């Protein structure tokens, strides 16, 4: 084997100097299948490929510091690697049963590289080819050793997409469509036999005339309205009991470690008593995304994204305004509500006409202004880290939030959200 081109002991960067993002990868049922883990240099300015790979290598070298399981939960994690990382022993820091190694399109294929990939594949590591836009000689050389082909569908002609999909499916490879930005693109790739889909098409609002809320969503909205109007506890309990699946799901949720209760809650009356109205409202907001009784709701990417946003904004508010419970609650509401236009297929303006919120929440949701707007914008920039450029660093500076503190809050939010998603189905 060639001399390792990367020596972690000589590497001076630390995890805290990088931004971390996890981007959901969905299966054909649009359930969560995996995450791509992206590491970007925290230096201001556009992301640089060299910096990004240094970031990846550094994070792998300090995987125990990061806590990989906390970042990806029970899902698989896709990680970008180049020749330097592949040819070094740093790969062995990664759990082979949890990680897919993405060989970047910029990697020069050499006999040493092919031997190394073959050796790692034999040991049980799974490989994907990243950003494939054509069938090149390099692709052909690596094809027998990889399981997944990631196809960058941006600006690709339909005929080329059909040709590539047909060719790789014939070779018995799994296909992942990258940068799927709308439902039409998802449907086209689905029809072509793609297995996985990456892109935030699922989080974009599609306004559908005549779309109706599900019975459970209507019941939840009714309950939230009762809580906001300070209705009698007996009336709230009666309303919950009218929807059996809603009551059961609520009890499951409030008994998770994420709910923070120390005793088991066995009845709705007890849930109301132990949680209090403010906390009950929070769990109802989460339940809107869970769609109780619907198959596959446990792995709903929208549920995961909404709960991650809600928790991360709450943790940021706690960090920035210590001891101010109201600000933390408001921040959580902003995060959770930021995807309700997608959930309901309605413009945010219409939703805010029906749900009473304070001005600060409204400003954050409609124009991304005010402190909550800045927090929400930061979280969205991290979700789209490849395109965000210097915005992340600028927003962190504006919020007076150090990178390492933000990373720690983010990992806590990932862990919390994953625990919710595992219970809400």
What the chain holds in terms of domains, given with CATH numbers, is 8-202 (3.20.20.450), 215-290 (no CATH), 297-421 (no CATH)
Average pLDDT, the chain: 84
Token pair in block for residue 344: 């309901």
The pLDDT tens digits for 196-249 are 999 999 998 887 666 677 777 888 888 888 888 888 888 888 888 777 777 787
Rounded Cα distance, 110 and 88, in Å: 15
Query: What is the DSSP annotation of 305-330?
Result: HHHHHHHHHHHHHHHHSTT-HHHHHH
Three-state DSSP class for 101? Answer: strand
CA pair distance 58, 60, nearest whole angstrom: 5
Over residues 57-67, the pLDDT tens digits come to 766 765 556 67
User: What is residue 4's predicted lDDT score, i.e. its pLDDT?
Assistant: 37
**Cβ–Cβ < 8 Å for 41, 48:** yes
pLDDT value of residue 420? 83
Predicted confidence at residue 172, as pLDDT, reads 94
pLDDT at residue 63 in the model: 58
Nearest by Cα to 19 from 418, 413, 402, 335:
402
320/313 Cα distance (integer angstroms): 10
Strands 18-26 and 32-41, sheet pairing: antiparallel
| Among 423, 335, 425, 295, CA closest to 30 | 295
**Sign of the CA dihedral running 47, 63, 410, 25:** positive
Q: How far is CA 268 from CA 24, 219, 232, 261, in A?
A: 34, 15, 14, 14
What's the rounded Cα separation, in Å, for the pair 324 and 7? 45
**Residue ranges, the chain, pLDDT below 50:** 1-14, 44-46, 293, 295-297, 425
The pLDDT value recorded for residue 316 is 98
- What pLDDT score was predicted for residue 297? 47
pLDDT of residue 338: 96
Decide: helix, strand or coil at residue 198.
strand
Tokens of 166: 């047909």
Task: Identify which of 286, 285, 272 has the alpha carbon closest to the alpha carbon of residue 236.
Answer: 272
What is the secondary structure of 66-82 as a DSSP string?
HTHHHHHTTSEEEEEE-
Greatest distance between any 2 Cα atoms in the chain? 74
């Amino acid at each position: 084997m060639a001399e390792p081109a990367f020596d972690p002991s000589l590497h001076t960067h630390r995890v805290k100097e990088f931004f971390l993002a996890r981007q959901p990868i969905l299966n054909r049922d649009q359930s969560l299948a995996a995450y791509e883990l992206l590491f970007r240099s925290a230096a201001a300015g556009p992301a640089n490929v060299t910096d990004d790979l240094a970031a990846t290598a550094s994070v792998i070298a300090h995987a125990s510091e990061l806590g990989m399981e906390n970042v990806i939960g029970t899902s698989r994690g896709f990680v970008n690697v180049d020749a330097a990382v592949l040819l070094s022993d740093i790969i062995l820091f990664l759990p082979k049963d949890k990680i897919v190694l993405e060989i970047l399109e910029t990697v020069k294929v050499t006999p040493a590289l092919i031997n190394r990939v073959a050796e790692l594949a034999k040991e049980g590591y799974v490989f994907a080819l990243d950003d494939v836009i054509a069938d090149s000689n390099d692709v052909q050389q690596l094809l027998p050793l990889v399981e997944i082909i990631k196809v960058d569908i941006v600006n690709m002609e339909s005929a080329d997409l059909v040709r590539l999909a047909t060719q790789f499916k014939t070779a018995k490879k799994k296909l992942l469509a990258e940068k799927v930005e709308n439902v039409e693109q998802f449907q086209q790739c689905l029809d072509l036999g793609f297995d996985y889909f990456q892109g935030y098409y699922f989080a974009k609002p599609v306004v559908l005339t005549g779309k109706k809320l599900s019975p459970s969503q209507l019941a939840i909205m009714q309950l939230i309205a009762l809580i906001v109007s300070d209705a009698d506890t007996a009336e709230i309990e009666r309303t919950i009991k009218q929807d059996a699946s809603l009551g059961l799901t609520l009890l499951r949720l409030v008994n998770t470690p994420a709910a923070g209760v120390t005793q088991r809650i066995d009845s709705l009356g007890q849930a109301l008593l132990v949680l209090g109205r403010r906390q009950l409202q929070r769990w109802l907001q989460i339940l809107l995304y869970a769609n109780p009784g619907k198959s596959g709701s446990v792995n709903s990417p929208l549920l995961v994204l909404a709960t991650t946003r809600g928790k991360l904004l709450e943790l940021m508010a706690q960090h920035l305004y210590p001891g101010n419970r109201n600000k933390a609650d408001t921040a959580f509401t902003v995060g959770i509500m930021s995807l309700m236009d997608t959930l309901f297929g309605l413009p945010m303006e219409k939703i805010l006409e029906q749900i009473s919120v304070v001005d600060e929440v409204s400003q954050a949701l409609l124009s991304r202004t005010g402190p909550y707007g800045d927090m929400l914008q930061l979280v969205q920039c991290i979700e789209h880290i490849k395109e965000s450029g210097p915005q992340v660093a600028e927003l962190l500076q504006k919020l007076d939030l150090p990178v390492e503190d933000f990373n720690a809050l983010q990992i806590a939010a990932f862990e919390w959200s994953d625990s919710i998603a595992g219970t809400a189905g």
